[in-house]
Copies of this chain bind each other. A is one copy, B any other.
Amino acid sequence: MTTDRQAVTVLGLGRMGSALAAALLERGHPTTVWNRSAAKARPLADRGARAATTPGEAVTASPLIVACVLDHDVLRTVLDPVTGSLAGRTLVNLTSGSPEQAREAEKWARAHGADYLDGAIMTTPPGVGSPETMFLYSGERAVFDAHRPTLTALGDPVHLGTDVGLASLYDAALLGLMWSTMTGWLHGTAVVGAEGTPATGFTPVAIRWLTAVTGFLTTYAPQVDAGTYPGDDATVDVQIAAVDHLLHAAEARGVDNALPELMKSLMLQAKAAGHGSDSYASLIEVLKK
């Protein structure tokens, strides 16, 4: 196969790493893959990937190395023996980790003459390759720009900034938002489900409502940045009055109330701090200890 697409190596062929390699192959990138247990490489080799037998062979095969392994320790275990081959290459690290680990990895890569980007994959494996899927990157802008055409094969590449820790920091923050939203949805689903409404009936209404909620977030974001929270639309006091409706409705239907009770507690703390007439965004003052 001849191609003008950049050659890429993918290290780590778990479900996510395999999806990354498949997306690159799909877009015609000469793709080399490596995994500690070689069996994972076979389905990709069948689709045209070159299966490297050692990390050294994998690293030297491509100017761009995409890593998606269990954690940063595993990554170092794989790459420390082959640091001599890293110079002049770019390591895009999609392995989950902390901002501190990302900074350490960048320093380590640079010490070996390699460029480094840290990244976070904002989807599950089936979403890889879709232009709607966000891939978050942080690190040197010029490195990002140079590899952007290739990274587009995986999803929509979003550069967050030059602080290499940003991708994993956003990743953690966004997962928290996901869990909060999914848990709130499950709680509401349990409440209406107790009266016979199926989840598939409630969910389209819930999703439409979330569109309205994202409008509130857009209104509240500049309030957070300004540190003032005008309660023009709805105050913390109004929310405190409303939360009891949910607590009673859920309690009466045998639904666990730890989540709304926590939110009521945060609202009451905001009120006690003088934010009763402010918007819900003022709760950030309670969260910032």
Residue ranges of A at the interface with B (Cβ–Cβ < 8 Å): 96-99, 122-127, 132-134, 136, 158, 160-161, 163, 165-166, 168-195, 197-200, 202-203, 205-214, 216-218, 220-222, 224-225, 232-234, 239, 242-243, 245-246, 248-250, 254-256, 258-260, 262-263, 265-266, 280-281, 283-284, 286-289
Asked whether, in the complex, the Cβ of B175 is within 8 Å of the Cβ of A243, the reply is yes
Contact residues in B for A265 (Cβ distance below 8 Å)? 258
Asked whether, in the complex, the Cβ of B245 is within 8 Å of the Cβ of A205, the reply is no
* Minimum C-beta distance from A102 to chain B (A): 11
Contact residues in B for A208 (Cβ distance below 8 Å)? 134
Cα(A232)–Cα(B127), bound, Å: 12
Cα(A96)–Cα(B241), bound, Å: 10
Cα(A106)–Cα(B246), bound, Å: 21
Cα(A187)–Cα(B266), bound, Å: 12
* Minimum C-beta distance from A5 to chain B (A): 27
In the complex, residue of chain B having the shortest beta-carbon distance to the beta carbon of A269: B256
Asked whether, in the complex, the Cβ of A96 is within 8 Å of the Cβ of B242, the reply is yes
Q: Secondary structure of the A side of the interface?
A: helix
Asked whether, in the complex, the Cβ of B197 is within 8 Å of the Cβ of A166, the reply is yes
Asked whether, in the complex, the Cβ of A183 is within 8 Å of the Cβ of B225, the reply is no
The 23 sampled A-B contact pairs (Cβ below 8 Å) are A133-B212, A134-B205, A134-B212, A168-B249, A172-B191, A172-B245, A173-B187, A173-B191, A175-B246, A176-B187, A176-B191, A177-B184, A177-B213, A180-B180, A180-B259, A189-B284, A190-B288, A199-B220, A199-B224, A203-B221, A206-B217, A207-B217, A256-B287
Asked whether, in the complex, the Cβ of B203 is within 8 Å of the Cβ of A218, the reply is yes
The 5 closest A-B pairs by CB, nearest first: A180-B184, A173-B188, A124-B233, A199-B224, A203-B221
